[in-house]
């Protein structure tokens, strides 16, 4: 079953041949134990756990879902054992300090776990995933007492965590929240309000759930400037670390959703009985700054969630296409004696698989590269180098979330098409993958919001230096690839796209600061598409450059793999890059039609 989640050969390529992750061990003593041999052992362990323990719970979890009865939320039965096994392996906080129950490994290596584990059952992985994000907030902004009481219990999985932002009238507009906080004489705060769409908001996997909650202290300014962040446990925690009384965090119901059935999406009432108490995290009125730490991590996690559905869909589709016998070879269509062939022999099916292959490979390299940049920022010897790599993480985050999940859903849809009618039937895996993938385009900031973030904030990051540094990285890959005869033509076409993109990026940035600002943001999503396409083109060119230099001396079993990387570049440049160029030309128009049309002209 392993081949039906992810491609181990391609993962090894990205880790060892593209990013050379083993060299991180030579750059920083904190990573010194994570050499190539250790990395390979970790990948094997991750793969085994994903295939043998997590994957078998995926369909069962989807079918059973979560239930809400008598005020209690129950998760699928198999999750209790799985959660115990997962925590025994210390997988929740792989990148965190051993002091708090982590393993201290580089983020680049943890990307493999993000891919395999989420590909096996990402609704289950939301429970530990959100816990890790909540723990990071405490680690970064919490007091020493908060760290001592909560952090190790969360990073070891004894307790879980969430994030409480959304309210009935405050979704993407977080500043409109109404949850309030009143300071008590002992320095704690009484919290009152309602939160909705809270993933993992209540369940039966752990004895306590720790909620970072956005609320407004009485008298604080309106909007996001007056929001503070509070730590609100389901059960109060005594000073000695033992559990106290119930903290008046009541689950009022769970949502019945299109997908991710086995993750509990809850509505929570805080302080409805007047007894919900929280402690301030960080400074007053600075809650959004603290919460953005978790949100940015969560956005990268969501990118992996979407991608994990896509890579699984691709692997399932390949297997199905090789086994499904139907129709004659097109070259033998008139031969009455010709035998039917597997559908992978049909040109249109090959086109679909090739499209899936190209985007899965490009997105894998992109996501791993973002993690790699985090590691490089951590080991950087100069502040300038640190800022460069941290800038890459920031500017690529909306791409890793927004673009990747858009494309991942397309890949899942393509996979369903390869299966034909069987793909639409719940007995086969494609239906669940498509359903589960869809939410990744919505939560943790819709992909439209990601596009606005890219255009409105990230394009001008560090006065434009970050995007120029990124252009330089791409250009270096292009220059090197032009020296390889087999890749020269492809590299030149990507260079042309890069130059055009630079022109359009400047145009979009200027338009966003003009009287045509609304028109600019009406085109932000197409701009995000173009940016993502360019980054994927870069990743494919980078991959093909390595392959072209290795293929001649490669072992026989590796030659098809390396040739496939070159064919991926060819396919993207010849079939998709022209679409990207068309998008760039359209962006130059910065169409105002969507802004100028009268509301009454829309139907209804």
Q: What pLDDT, in 10s, does the model give residues 208-264?
A: 999 999 999 999 999 989 999 999 999 999 999 999 999 999 999 999 999 999 999
Is pLDDT above 70 for 2? no
Length of the chain: 604
Indicate yes or no: pTM above 0.75: yes
Mean pLDDT, residues 39-58 = 97
| Closest CA relative to residue 597, chosen from 508, 518, 513 | 518
Asked if residue 511 belongs to a domain, the reply is yes
Tokens linked to 339: 């035998």
Q: What is the pLDDT of residues 396-407, one digit of tens each?
A: 999 999 999 999
pLDDT digits (tens, 9 = 90+) for 97-136: 898 888 999 999 999 999 999 999 999 999 999 999 999 9
- Is the domain of 107 the same as that of 173? no
203 and 268 together in one domain: yes
Phi and psi, residue 327, nearest 5°: 80, 155
Q: Which two tokens mark 216? A: 């407004």
Query: Is 444 annotated in the active site?
Result: yes
In a domain, 448, yes or no: no
pLDDT for residue 1 is more than 50: no
Give the whole-number percent of the chain exceeding pLDDT 70: 99
| CATH code of the domain in which 212 resides | 2.40.110.20
Domain boundary among 155, 178, 205: 155
Indicate whether 138 and 167 sit together in one domain: no
Give the domain CATH number at 97.
1.10.540.10
Residues 585 and 489 in one domain: yes
Q: Tell me, what's the pLDDT at 570?
A: 98
Pair 522, 594: CB distance under 8 Å? yes
Structural domain includes residue 217: yes
Q: Over 60: is that where the pLDDT of 436 sits?
A: yes
Same domain? For 98 and 223 the reply is no
Do 135 and 196 share a domain, yes or no? Answer: no
Residue 401 lies in a domain: no
Is the Cα dihedral 130, 265, 173, 189 positive or negative? negative
Per the structure, the count of domains in the chain is 3
What the block records as the tokens of 587 is: 């962006």
Q: Which of 444, 492, 495, 574 is catalytic?
A: 444
- Beta-carbon-side half-sphere exposure of residue 439 (alpha carbons within 13 Å): 21
Ordered alpha helix ranges (H), 22-69: 24-27, 36-49, 56-64
pLDDT at 295: 82
The span from the CA of 165 to the CA of 228, in Å, is 11
Residues 246 and 283 occupy one common structural domain: yes
Query: Please, which pLDDT band fits residue 545 given cuts at 50, 70 and 90?
Result: very high
Residues 494 and 510 in one domain: yes
Residues 151 and 172 in one domain: no
The two tokens of residue 543 are 């991959």
What residues form DSSP beta bridges with 164?
213
Q: Please tell me whether residues 511 and 572 are part of one structural domain.
A: yes
- 207 and 89 within one domain: no
The mean pLDDT of 336-351, rounded to a whole number, is 96
**Is residue 487 in a domain?**
yes
Would you say residue 341 lies in a domain?
Answer: no
For residues 472-478, average pLDDT: 98
Q: For the segment 491-539, what is each residue's pLDDT rounded down to a tens digit? A: 999 999 999 999 999 999 999 999 999 999 999 999 999 999 999 999 9
251-281 residue pLDDT tens? 999 999 999 999 999 999 999 999 999 999 9
Tell whether 321 is covered by a domain: no
Task: Give the pLDDT confidence score for residue 296 in this predicted structure.
Answer: 84
For residues 63-69, give the mean pLDDT: 97
Closest C-alpha among 480, 485, 525, 531 to residue 504: 531
- Region 274-290: what's the mean pLDDT? 94
Domain that holds residue 467: 455-596
Mark which of 263, 289, 315 sits at the end of a domain: 289
Task: Report if residue 421 sits inside a domain.
Answer: no
Bridge partner residues of 380 (DSSP): none
d(CA 187, CA 196): 27
Domain boundary among 140, 155, 170: 155
What's residue 3's pLDDT? 54
Task: Mark whether 167 and 248 lie in a shared domain.
Answer: yes
Mean pLDDT of all residues belonging to the chain:
96
Q: How many CB atoms lie within 10 A of CB 1?
A: 11
């Amino acid at each position: 079953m392993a081949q039906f989640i992810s491609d181990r050969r391609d993962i090894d390529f990205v880790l060892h041949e593209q990013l050379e992750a083993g060299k991180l061990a030579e750059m920083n003593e904190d990573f010194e134990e994570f050499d190539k041999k250790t990395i390979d052992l970790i990948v094997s362990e991750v793969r085994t756990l994903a295939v043998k323990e997590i994957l078998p719970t995926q369909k069962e979890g989807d079918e059973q879902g979560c239930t809400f009865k008598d005020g209690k939320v129950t998760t699928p039965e198999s999750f209790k054992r799985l959660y115990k096994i997962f925590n025994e392996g210390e997988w929740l906080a792989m990148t965190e300090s051993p002091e708090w129950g982590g393993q201290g490994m580089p983020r680049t290596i943890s990307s493999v776990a993000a891919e395999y584990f989420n590909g096996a059952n990402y609704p289950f992985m939301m429970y530990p995933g959100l816990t890790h994000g909540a723990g990071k907030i405490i680690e970064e902004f919490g007091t020493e007492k908060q760290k001592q009481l909560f952090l190790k219990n969360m990073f070891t999985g004894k307790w879980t965590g969430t994030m409480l932002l959304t309210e009935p009238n405050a979704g993407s507009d977080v500043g409109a929240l109404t949850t309030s906080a009143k300071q008590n004489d002992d320095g704690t705060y009484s919290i009152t309000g309602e939160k909705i769409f809270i993933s993992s908001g209540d369940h039966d996997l752990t004895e306590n759930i720790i909620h970072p909650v956005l609320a407004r202290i009485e008298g604080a300014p309106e909007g996001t400037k007056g929001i503070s962040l509070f730590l609100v446990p389901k059960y109060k925690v005594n000073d000695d670390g033992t559990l106290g009384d119930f903290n008046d965090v009541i689950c009022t119901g769970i949502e019945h959703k299109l997908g991710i059935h086995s993750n509990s999406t809850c509505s929570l009432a805080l302080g409805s009985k007047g007894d919900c108490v929280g402690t301030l995290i960080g400074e007053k009125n600075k809650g959004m700054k603290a919460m953005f730490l978790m949100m940015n991590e969560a956005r990268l996690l969501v990118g992996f969630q979407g991608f994990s559905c896509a890579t699984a869909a691709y692997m399932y589709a390949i297997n199905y296409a090789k086994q499904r016998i139907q129709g004659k070879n097109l070259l033998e269509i008139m031969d009455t004696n010709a035998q039917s062939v597997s559908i992978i022999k049909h040109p249109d099916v090959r086109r679909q698989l090739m499209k899936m292959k190209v985007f899965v490979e490009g997105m894998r390299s992109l996501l791993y590269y973002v993690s790699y940049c985090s590691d490089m920022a951590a080991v950087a010897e100069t502040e300038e180098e640190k800022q460069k790599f941290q800038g890459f993480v920031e500017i690529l985050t909306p791409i890793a979330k927004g673009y990747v999940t858009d494309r991942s859903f397309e890949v899942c849809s393509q996979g369903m098409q390869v299966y034909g009618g069987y793909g639409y039937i719940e007995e086969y895996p494609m239906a669940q993958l498509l359903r589960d993938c869809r939410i990744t385009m919505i939560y943790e900031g819709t992909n439209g919001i990601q596009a606005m973030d890219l255009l409105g904030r990230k394009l001008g990051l560090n006065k434009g230096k970050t995007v120029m540094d990124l252009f330089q990285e791409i250009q270096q890959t292009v220059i090197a690839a032009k020296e390889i005869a087999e890749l020269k033509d492809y590299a030149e076409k990507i260079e042309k796209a890069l130059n055009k993109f630079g022109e359009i990026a400047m145009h979009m940035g200027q338009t966003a600061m003009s009287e045509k600002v609304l028109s600019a943001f009406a085109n932000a999503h197409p701009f995000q598409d173009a940016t993502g396409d360019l980054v994927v083109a870069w990743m494919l060119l980078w991959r093909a450059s390595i392959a072209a230099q290795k293929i001649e001396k490669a072992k026989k079993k590796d030659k098809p793999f390396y040739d496939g990387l070159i064919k991926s570049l060819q396919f993207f440049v010849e079939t998709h890059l022209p679409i990207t160029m068309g998008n760039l030309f359209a962006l130059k128009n910065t169409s105002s039609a969507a802004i100028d049309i009268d509301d009454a002209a829309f139907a209804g």
